[in-house]
Amino acid sequence: MHVDLDSFYAQCEENANPNLKGKPVVVCVYSGRTEDSGAVSTANYQARKYGVRAGIPIIRAKKLLETVDAAFVPMNHPRYEEISERIMDMLRSQSDAFEQTSIDEAFLDVSKRTGMNFESARDVAVEIKEQLLRQEHVTCSIGIGPNKLIAKIASDQSKPNGLTIVKPEDAITFLSPLPANRIPGVGKKAEEKLIQLNVSTVAELSGLSPNTFVENFGKSLGSYLYRASRGEDDEHVKEREQPAQFSRIATLKQNTRLPEETFPLLTELAYSVSDKLKEQGFTCKSVTIIAILTDLSIHSRSKTLESRTSEREPIEAAAKQLTQQFLRANPDAILRRVGVKASTLTKETGQTDISKFLTA
């Protein structure tokens, strides 16, 4: 079973402010550069009717909604996290195995408690929907299928507030007419290939030879797509124990390549990443800087640290060094936004782990 909370941030805002009910609601990330500079994080379904989508500039969303009484609200991420945590705990309690894949999505393995009976799985889904509405005033879209792939595609089939059940014997019939890009992992690049191959539906995709898959999509994606187009997937639902990375990114006051204008922000971002590592009890081994230039192109540079750390100073030093190197190697680059990322995380248990043993 796949559960997807409908335009989650927008629902959180509607619940926090009843004035928003019934209006188009646009949740915005303001960059602070000018009055309306920034992007749309998400929009409720009323706003989507006017063409407002995640990722578009706020100013464009305002134009699209200028004839209606719409609400533009700043994103409040800590609030969404808190609400999400309660919801995820509830969903986990309704499952045999649980896997949260984002702040608003999760897979629930309900095979045991339903004995693989899809009518019984429907009851679980209905109970989840009722409980979510009662306890958190939130709607969701649920997909039920014989595996994660089909559950995920099914949850996307009917939104918002949908429930789509695909029994094993109906899987091929369900998938066949769908556009091939509904398969997770088929993005822009794979889609271009599909056009070349004259493939638009999953059924057409499944008609390609195994060689055609590997030749066009590579061994990894190719064999995944071969199976996916047949509705096959054997991934298990499993808890994600540890995050893989923490990052902070922000927009500069003005476009620049001067160290005195970028370093203070880099320091702030590095400190924030370090604080989060410490707060959550992690150390990192690699540090990455993200550079977004005036043409909005995205670049990154990373390095592996000499030793694991969560301290502010080594992360800050690495970020400054990587930025300097990037600017030296790219004399025409002008920075618009910069970010700092810590990855290769390890949870520090306080117990003697192998690396401590070896250094001792």
Partner DNA sequence: GTATGCTTTCGGC
Partner DNA sequence: TTACGGCCGAAAGCATAC
Tell me which residues touch DNA (CB under 7 A).
8, 29, 31, 33-34, 37-42, 54-60, 63, 75, 77, 101-102, 104-105, 185, 187-190, 217-218, 220-221, 224, 240, 243-251, 285-286, 288, 296, 298-304, 336-337, 339, 341, 343-344
The answer to whether 72 and 13 are in contact (CB under 8 A) is no
In terms of CB distance, is 118 or 157 closer to DNA? 157
Asked if 105 is an active-site residue, the reply is yes
Q: What are the residues facing 293 on neighbouring strands?
A: 335
* Angstrom distance (rounded) from CA 54 to CA 92: 28
Q: How far is the CB of 89 from DNA (least distance, A)?
A: 18
In terms of CB distance, is 90 or 293 closer to DNA? 293
Question: What are φ and ψ of residue 119, in 5° steps?
Answer: -70, -40
Q: How far is the CB of 116 from DNA (least distance, A)?
A: 25
One-letter amino acid at 94 equals Q
Query: How many helices and strands in the chain, by DSSP H and E?
Result: 14, 13
Q: How far is the CB of 144 from DNA (least distance, A)?
A: 18
* 97 token code pair: 């195995």
Using alpha carbons, select from 340, 242, 316 the residue that is nearest to residue 282. Answer: 242
Q: How far is the CB of 240 from DNA (least distance, A)?
A: 7
DSSP assignment of 308-322 equals EE--HHHHHHHHHHH
- Radius of gyration over every alpha carbon of the chain, rounded to an integer in angstroms: 23
The answer to whether 15 and 73 are in contact (CB under 8 A) is no
Residue ranges in the chain assigned as alpha helix (H): 8-16, 45-48, 58-64, 77-93, 111-114, 118-136, 148-155, 171-175, 188-196, 202-206, 210-228, 259-280, 312-329, 354-359
> In sequence order, which residues have a C-beta less than 8 Å from that of residue 159 and are 6 or more positions away?
4, 6, 141
Q: How far is the CB of 147 from DNA (least distance, A)?
A: 15
Q: How far is the CB of 261 from DNA (least distance, A)?
A: 15
> Quick one: how far is CA 116 from the chain centroid?
29
In terms of CB distance, is 103 or 113 closer to DNA? 103
From the list 13, 14, 105, 136, the catalytic residue is 105
Enzyme catalytic residues: 105
